[in-house]
Amino acid sequence: MKNSPSQLSRETREKIVEELLPVLIDGLDLHSQIKVAHWNIKGPHFAALHPLFDQFATDLALLNDGLAERALTLGGMAVGTTRHVAKHSRLQDYPENVTKDMEHVALLADRIGHYLQGVRAAREVAIELKDDDTVDTLTGIVTMFEKHAWFLHASLA
């Protein structure tokens, strides 16, 4: 653990970083899965979903960066090489042969749901440890990606 400007104890910071890193890993995996959907989508909803998926990926890239920076601010390290992410992600692998627009919608809705479970679990730990700044960071992720999930679920209705 490195030095930190945080007023939280070293033990608290270590626990929070332990919670943030799996969320970062899942977020990096989800980002790559969203890009695969963006690149390979075909079908009648292509024109609407292609840019939507790209926006999801752009949003997630910024959120992942914020998570990594929060872990560093707390004195931790950010991990996220492709090999590390592949080994440690809690998300299911994305099928390589999917092209149909609504199949991508369903797959991404499922993966975003699993991602949000991890984000919410990490937020509960941050709440318990009274780290309001990490709670705010994680709440921002939940707010944005619940909305993105809603877009996908509304498309499936």
DSSP state letters, 41-60: -BSTTHHHHHHHHHHHHHHH
Q: Is 100 helix (H, G, I), strand (E, B) or coil?
A: strand
Q: Which of 29, 35, 33 is nearest to 90 (CA)?
A: 29
Query: Which tokens is 35 given?
Result: 């890009």
pLDDT given for residue 4 in this prediction: 81
pLDDT given for residue 27 in this prediction: 98
pLDDT given for residue 80 in this prediction: 92
The pTM is what? 0.95
Residue 124 sits at the vertex; the CA angle it makes with 22 and 86, to the nearest 5 degrees, is 10
> What domains sit in the chain, N to C, each tagged with a CATH number?
10-87+96-156 (1.20.1260.10)
pLDDT given for residue 98 in this prediction: 93
Successive 10-residue mean pLDDT values, the chain, 157 residues: 86 97 98 98 96 98 97 95 97 95 97 98 98 97 98 93
Helices (H), ranges, the chain:
10-40, 46-73, 82-88, 101-128, 132-156
